[in-house]
Structure 1
Amino acid sequence: MPADLLARDFKSDQEVRWCPGCGDYAILAAVQGFMPEVGVARENIVFISGIGCSSRFPYYMNTYGMHSIHGRAPAIATGLAVTRPDLSVWVVTGDGDALSIGGNHLIHALRRNVNLKILLFNNRIYGLTKGQYSP
């Protein structure tokens, strides 16, 4: 277990850029707050995202991360989790990314029961198109 990590240890030096009042700020603060309790060293944590507002998440975490393409974060995370079972692999995705174009990849990641964690931000809209309903 890593020694004495705090929430601030999981904050990157990147400026957080979401719209004022966006719920993603609260999710980021919550994740940064509980990560020290997970008990995994930062160098063994990987956040993988797709597209949309939630996709900036890996930039804001002081861990390893990858910004992938539309809907493919679960597929990439599955590959990483299978080849590197020593890592704590997290998928960060939105409802538009994961439940539309990425729906098949999400279903198969769940079906395979691979050891990864999925944070799905569901605000029921495609945030980048400013209000179009998501699946």
Structure 2
Amino acid sequence: MPVEALTLVPKAEARQSMKDFKSDQEVRWCPGCGDYAILAAVQGFMPELGLARENIVFVSGIGCSSRFPYYMNTYGMHSIHGRAPAIATGLATSRTDLSV
């Protein structure tokens, strides 16, 4: 997404922290899995974007890494095999107020 496109997405009213982006779901990845580091990194930089959580959507496909949307305190979709890019594109095209 071009940086200019982020200006279309509503900003958060209050300053957010990493904790604000952690869901109440138990993370179920294997010990030592690299997905933990990716999740921590994304939860760490999301507050810096300053976007309202209700305007953020993560779209995933199939596999262990695709549990990602469940672990973020944002909106998310778990799609069928190979369809995540098409679903994300459709959502981003139809809802310019969202960061997909």
Aligned to 1:25: 36
| Distance in 1, Cα, partners of 2:81 & 2:41 | 25
| Structure 1: stretches of 5+ with no match in the other structure | 90-135
Aligned to 2:57: 46
**Higher strand proportion, which one?**
1
| Distance in 1, Cα, partners of 2:99 & 2:30 | 29
Which consecutive segments of 4 or more residues in structure 1 shift more than 2 A?
A: none
Q: TM-score, normalised by structure 2?
A: 0.87
Aligned to 1:102: none
Native 8 Å contact 2:23 2:70 kept in 1 = yes
Matched, 1:13 2:24: yes
Q: TM-score, normalised by structure 1?
A: 0.65
- Structure 1 residue 53: deviation in Å? 1.3
User: What do residues 60-112 of structure 1 show as CA deviations (whole Å, max 9, x unaligned)?
Assistant: 000000100001100000000000011000xxxxxxxxxxxxxxxxxxxxxxx
- The one-letter code of the counterpart of 2:43 is Q
Tell which has more relative contact order, 1 or 2 (C-alpha 8 A, sep 6+): 2
Matched, 1:67 2:78: yes
Pairs within 5 Å for 1:1-135: 1-2=11-12, 3-89=14-100
CA RMSD, Structure 1 to Structure 2 (Å)? 0.6
Matched residue SS, 1:88: coil
- Structure 1 residue 25: deviation in Å? 0.1
What fraction of aligned residue pairs are identical, expressed as a percent? 85
| Structure 2: stretches of 5+ with no match in the other structure | 1-10
Q: Which of these two proteins has the greater Rg computed from alpha carbons?
A: 1
